[in-house]
Homo-oligomer: A and B are copies of this chain.
Amino acid sequence: MSETDGVVEVAPVPVSEAAQPQTKKRRASENGLHALQKNGSMEKDKNVDDSYFASYSDIELHRTMIEDSVRTNAYQQAIFQNMEEHIRNKVVVDVGCGTGILSMFCAQAGAKKVYAIDASKIAVHAKQLIEANGYSNIITVLQGKAEEVELPEKVDVIVSEWMGYMLLYETMLPSVLYVRDKWLKPGGKMYPERAVLHMALGEAQWITKYEEGTYDFWVSLNHVYNLDMSLLADHAVARYKDVVHVHMVAQEDVLSFPTSICDLDLTTITPEDLRTISRPFSLYSMGSRQLNSIVLWFDVWFPGGLKLSTSPDNEDTHWQNTVLPLATVPLQQDTKVEGELTITQDLTNHRFLNVDLTYRVDKGEEVTRCFKMDDNCNDNDF
């Protein structure tokens, strides 16, 4: 395998100049998270984590995140708006610092000290960038897992961009909470400090389009090659509808007001609270439309009230929206769709999620669907 295997230092150490920059391209969607199931649980988690951190050594992933101006501007504004109160002359830890951009925002905002932690090899580049920008005296880069890093002091602020698709995918939040419980001073600040996951009814046009295109293609072979391949259309559509999709949803494709699935106070929530998140819901359709999906998105808030939103109502972000495809059902105005959504950490791969949905349209039969949210879920990889 590639040199990215050795990316995780077991004993976290300040990044030295001598560290090898990585030269092998890897991508988030190819993080080798399969094929690990025969190992013991500890070894398995280690392999999963090694692959996970290796994926973050890919510079293109960091470009995607920084290029997302909704995301990057929200952090910058939150840090700068509160600089006098929370940042100036304070000690900050940046959990999963990546290229170090948030740490450098804190340095610009007058932080006395910033500890920038990342388990990925990107930490090597973070250190170079911090030097190039003249912040080496303020920011110390520590390459290691957040749970294993030893800091020389307690901190006033935790800054972290830990959110994954559908808020919780990647399961990075428990690492941030670990750092909070170990290193944050009483009354210290969390950036962000609150996170809400929303759901609504959807008629995703691209699901309809995929379905139609798939039937058209497989049926067309009868004319082109005189072969009936139409059986495969059902199979292809079933597979497409069987997985969680990360995809943009247009504002007009949201069919109901949203309801929240969880509202996390990040100053008090525990990792145990995150293992299973379950909430009954009742949603009412606006207008007469074709229900074909559940749409999910999240908002997070920073101290002072600044909100970073990934809602279909807002500008696009790299998180896009999350979509659970359903069998298509026509809805009348104000049709009630009720049920329960449950999100649990996958036991085989702790960075994956299981999404279980039961729902009933009006007085219809109760339907149960189980989706796995793994590294197949980003439609951009199609």
Contact = CB atoms under 8 A, between A and B. Distances in A.
Most B Cβ at <10 Å: residue of A21, A34, A221: A34
Interface stretch (A159-167, A224-232, A359-367): A224-232
A225 B231 CA distance: 54
Given A1-B348, A128-B231, A235-B125, A240 B25 contact: yes
Most B Cβ at <10 Å: residue of A2, A35, A129, A225: A35
Contact of A125 (B26, B232, B243): B232
Interface stretch (A97-105, A246-254, A281-289): A97-105
Nearest to A240: B25
Interface string A90-117: 0000000001010011001000000000
A63 interface: yes
A235 B35 contact: no
Contacts of A1: 34-35, 37, 348
Interface in A296-336: none
A381 interface: yes
Interface string A30-63: 1111111100000000010001000000111011
Nearest to A50: B35
Given A23-B239, A376-B26, A101 B229 contact: yes
Contacts of A228: 129, 132-133
A51 B32 CA distance: 11
A229 B129 CA distance: 6
Nearest to A134: B228
A129 B242 contact: no
Given A30-B29, A225-B76, A381-B27, A129 B232 contact: yes
A228 B100 CA distance: 11
A66 interface: yes
A242 B236 CA distance: 35
Given A34-B35, A125-B231, 11 more contacts: A2-B372, A24-B239, A26-B376, A27-B381, A29-B381, A30-B30, A101-B229, A128-B231, A132-B230, A133-B227, A381-B381
Interface of A: 1-2, 21-27, 29-37, 47, 51, 58-60, 62-63, 66-67, 72, 76, 99, 101, 104-105, 108, 125, 128-129, 132-133, 214, 217-218, 221, 225-232, 235-236, 238-240, 242-243, 348, 372, 375-376, 381-382
